A and B are shown apart, each in its own frame.
Chain A
Amino acid sequence: MELVFKRPECLIDVPFHFCPGCHHGIAHRLVAEAIDHFKIREKTIGVASVGCSVFMYDYFNIDVVEAPHGRASAVASGVKRARKDSIVFTIQGDGDLGAIGIAEGIHTANRGENITLIFANNGIYGMTGGQMAPTTLLGQKTTTSPYGRDFTYDGYPIRMAEMMATLEGSAFVARVAVNNPANLMKAKKAVRKAFQMQVEEMGFSFVEILMSCPTNWGLSSLEANRRVEEEMIPYFPLGTLKERKMADYL
Chain B
Amino acid sequence: MSQNIEKILVRGNEAVAMGAIDAGCLLFFGYPITPQNEIPEYLSKHLPPLGGEFIQAESEIASINLLLGASATGARAMSSSSSPGISLMQEGLSYMAGSELPVVIVNISRSGPGLGGISASQGDYFQATRGGGHGDYRMIVLAPSTVQEMYNLTCLAFDLADKYRNPAMVLGDALIGQMKEPLTRQKAEKMDLPPKDWALTGARGRKPNKIKSLYLQEGELTEHNWKLYQKYERMKKEEVRFEMVNAEDARLIIVAFGSMARVSKTAMEMAREEGMKVGLFRPITLFPYPEKGLYDISKQVKQFLTVELNTGQMVEDVKLSVDRDAEVHFYGKPPGALPPPEEILEQIRKYYR
| Main secondary structure on B side of the interface with A | mixed
Contacts of B181 in A (CB 8 A): none
In the assembled complex, the Cα of A46 lies from the Cα of B55 at a distance in Å of 21
Contacts of A66 in B (CB 8 A): 95, 99, 210-214
From B27, B65, B75, give the contact of A104 (CB < 8 A).
B65
**Is B57 within 8 A of A74, CB to CB?**
yes
Contacts of A111 in B (CB 8 A): 55
Contacts of B75 in A (CB 8 A): 82-83
Contacts of A81 in B (CB 8 A): 27, 53, 55, 66, 69-70
**Is B211 within 8 A of A64, CB to CB?**
yes
In the assembled complex, the Cα of A64 lies from the Cα of B214 at a distance in Å of 13
Whose C-beta in chain B lies nearest to the C-beta of A45? Answer: B200
Segment of A54-62, A170-178, A187-195, A208-216 in the binding face: A54-62
Contacts of A106 in B (CB 8 A): 58
From B92, B95, B208, give the contact of A64 (CB < 8 A).
B208
Segment of A36-44, A149-157, A232-240 in the binding face: A36-44
Contacts of A57 in B (CB 8 A): 208, 210, 212
Interface residues of B in 70-119 (CB under 8 A from A): 70-73, 75, 77, 91-92, 95, 99
Size band of the interface chain A makes with B: 35 or more
**Is B92 within 8 A of A71, CB to CB?**
yes
Interface residues of B in 263-287 (CB under 8 A from A): none
Contacts of A103 in B (CB 8 A): 58-59, 61-62
- Is B337's CB within 8 Å of the partner chain A? no
- Is B193's CB within 8 Å of the partner chain A? no
- Over the window 198-242 of chain B, the binary record of Cβ atoms lying under 8 Å from chain A Cβ atoms (1 yes, 0 no) is 001111110011111110000000000000000000000000000
**Is B65 within 8 A of A71, CB to CB?**
yes
In the assembled complex, the Cα of A43 lies from the Cα of B69 at a distance in Å of 15
B residues near A, CB below 8 A?
27, 29, 53, 55, 57-59, 61-62, 65-73, 75, 77, 91-92, 95, 99, 200-205, 208-214
